[in-house]
Chain A
């Protein structure tokens, strides 16, 4: 049988109901096939429609090839060597409260600086913590429920709010979207679900900490946030992974839907393991994030601080469908040592008088390569659309690189577009000025870099801004002098 025949057989075959899975352990065998997809679905006791959706995605994926247009290079990924599911041991019944959570697990979170209890109580943050693939603790759910906000793990949402999930899953990022998003659609294990009903302002910041723990485990979480008419929500996402010598794949999908007058603010501080000084190990972060401003006057705002991962491939985007809707993208991306970041956004203007703002700050150090890739497309229907883009690059040393690829596609003469770009190096004179005032070289670099990134950092909620500021300093340690 030729490979084409195998492919076509695989992609055309119907799901064989009732096959028995021998995958009972908490960690699945490496490899990807329909059995694994079905096993993930079975593990989660998913309804038939979702399994069918996964399988459609999987079959579609078989016919796809990895995108090669990004300015990143890495050895071929063996998708059959990856384990697609891992769960902490004690998930049988699911913890009902923090007290039920394995204390060992909680200690790990504390090391990461996410003391669930304190964070939850003091900061009023509801944390839906994802440890590997299963959501282990959800707090403040009750008080959220009082105002009608649903905030739970994706798996739970599938069982408790199937109509909502069915309605919105894949509505912004369809299962055919791109190689990594399609892979995610087939094998996603968990993630967060948030629904804010009509007219409700979510009373607290929602937060999820993701963490990859199991070795050789890909993490494929899926997040869906829906804000109905007049609703608003701010969502924070932090990511950390322990050190490993091998590369790990992370292919997440985030979908946001904002109806009339709704506002969604989505903030990320991404600090996945970036690999060591020689570029060994680290996370491959191939993420699809997209928001749809479906309603009039709706607004979606992305803020990201990307300091980790050995490769970042990520373009949080906005589809501005509703008239007068607003899309924003604020980004700081740092590439040190041998890190490669290819990140940016797409602003797709369809509705009238839609507006978008892009502020991208790229920092390159060591042998790091930092690429901004942004697309602004303005459809004929988007009368009076406006875009402002600002892309700045900061270089530390002379072995790193900064690249900017802004794409523009404008189909109406009524649009207004502004683009500003700059590239600068941290100057000897700046460093000396700081040192002459008593700061060490490293403090000086950290100070200058944070100044450079400030326009973006100040878009973050307070406690994230503090963390991001520290991260920028830590990530650049040893990069100068």
Chain B
């Protein structure tokens, strides 16, 4: 009998923008188990990116209600770097440039921070090099990109590949991919998706945040959720994505509005 391990358990999560108090998440419930890939879809402004930011601990948001358990621990009380060391990885929608810092140098620092937290010795230069070579191949990263400064002068596709490459090296337990498909041409999308697919594993949970269905042509999620107006309004299998492709988000939003009206 398989034992299911719950990686992420979100209950009644409400969050607002700290600056102006606008409530974005209005009660999100979500459970993701090890080995599962969940897609979160939804129209612009539905709260998808806010969810990614709140889960990774970005400043600028206030959680007003609800809980988030990660491997049974209170995720929201951890500072961002602690979440990262515990195995939460965010693939950024807009990866940040760090001028003058070599990509591999940065990654080695990150890897060692994670390893230290897990009680492992720092990785030595030779082992790191072979790890990097192995993982770079997954996303067809060219050697030149490894030695260049972090994301500096990278094309949109190169930045996204770099995110997946970092994810491969850091080996997270929970990977959150925020709009990884945005700004990618079809070839880059294929490469990134195959990288993600190769990182699927029974121990790892993934959360794919996407506006468009097209990413799901390449990565087949176990569950699809539709986030609308700060709530998950519908969950289903791959067929839900196709339905959305066909009908758009409008009908779900109407349904949600009606449902909310009835409830009140």
User: What is the interface of chain A, defined by CB distance below 8 A to chain B?
Assistant: 427-430, 432-441, 443, 447-448, 450-455
Can you name the residue of chain A whose Cβ is closest to the Cβ of B53?
Answer: A432
Q: Does B131 contact A (CB under 8 A)?
A: no
Sample of 20 A–B contacts (CB below 8 Å): A430-B96, A432-B58, A433-B95, A435-B79, A436-B56, A437-B106, A437-B113, A437-B170, A438-B84, A438-B85, A439-B81, A439-B113, A440-B113, A447-B106, A448-B98, A448-B101, A450-B101, A451-B100, A452-B100, A455-B100
Closest chain-A Cβ to B35's Cβ sits at a distance in Å of: 23
- B113, A438: Cβ atoms closer than 8 Å: yes
| Residues of the A chain whose Cβ atoms lie less than 8 Å from the Cβ of B56 | 436
Interface centre among A435, A438, A439, A454 (most CB of B within 10 A): A438
Main secondary structure of the interface of A (DSSP, over half): helix
Partner of B81 from the list A427, A438, A453, A454 (CB cut-off 8 Å) is A438
Partner of B99 from the list A429, A433, A437, A452 (CB cut-off 8 Å) is A452
Can you name the residue of chain A whose Cβ is closest to the Cβ of B113?
Answer: A438
What is the bound-complex CA distance between A437 and B101, given in angstroms?
14
Give chain B interface residues in 77-101, CB to chain A under 8 Å.
79-81, 83-85, 89-90, 92, 94-101
Beyond the given A436-B84, A447-B101, A450-B101, could you list 10 further A-B residue pairs with CB under 8 A, ordered by the A residue number? A428-B59, A429-B94, A429-B96, A433-B96, A435-B57, A436-B89, A437-B107, A438-B110, A440-B81, A455-B100
User: What is the interface of chain B, defined by CB distance below 8 A to chain A?
Assistant: 56-60, 79-81, 83-85, 89-90, 92, 94-101, 106-107, 109-110, 113-114, 117, 149, 166, 170
- B100, A454: Cβ atoms closer than 8 Å: yes
| Residues of the A chain whose Cβ atoms lie less than 8 Å from the Cβ of B117 | 438
- B110, A439: Cβ atoms closer than 8 Å: yes
**Known contacts A428-B59, A432-B58, A437 near B110 by CB under 8 Å:** yes
- A451, B80: Cβ atoms closer than 8 Å: no
Closest chain-B Cβ to A471's Cβ sits at a distance in Å of: 16
Partner of B80 from the list A427, A432, A453 (CB cut-off 8 Å) is A432
| Residues of the A chain whose Cβ atoms lie less than 8 Å from the Cβ of B101 | 447-448, 450-451, 454
What is the bound-complex CA distance between A443 and B100, given in angstroms?
15
Closest chain-B Cβ to A108's Cβ sits at a distance in Å of: 32
- B92, A433: Cβ atoms closer than 8 Å: yes
- A436, B100: Cβ atoms closer than 8 Å: no
Closest chain-A Cβ to B160's Cβ sits at a distance in Å of: 14
| Residues of the B chain whose Cβ atoms lie less than 8 Å from the Cβ of A440 | 81, 113
What is the bound-complex CA distance between A450 and B149, given in angstroms?
12
- B59, A443: Cβ atoms closer than 8 Å: no
Can you name the residue of chain A whose Cβ is closest to the Cβ of B166?
Answer: A437
Closest chain-A Cβ to B147's Cβ sits at a distance in Å of: 13
Can you name the residue of chain A whose Cβ is closest to the Cβ of B84?
Answer: A438
| Residues of the A chain whose Cβ atoms lie less than 8 Å from the Cβ of B166 | 437
| Residues of the B chain whose Cβ atoms lie less than 8 Å from the Cβ of A452 | 99-100
Can you name the residue of chain B whose Cβ is closest to the Cβ of A429?
Answer: B96
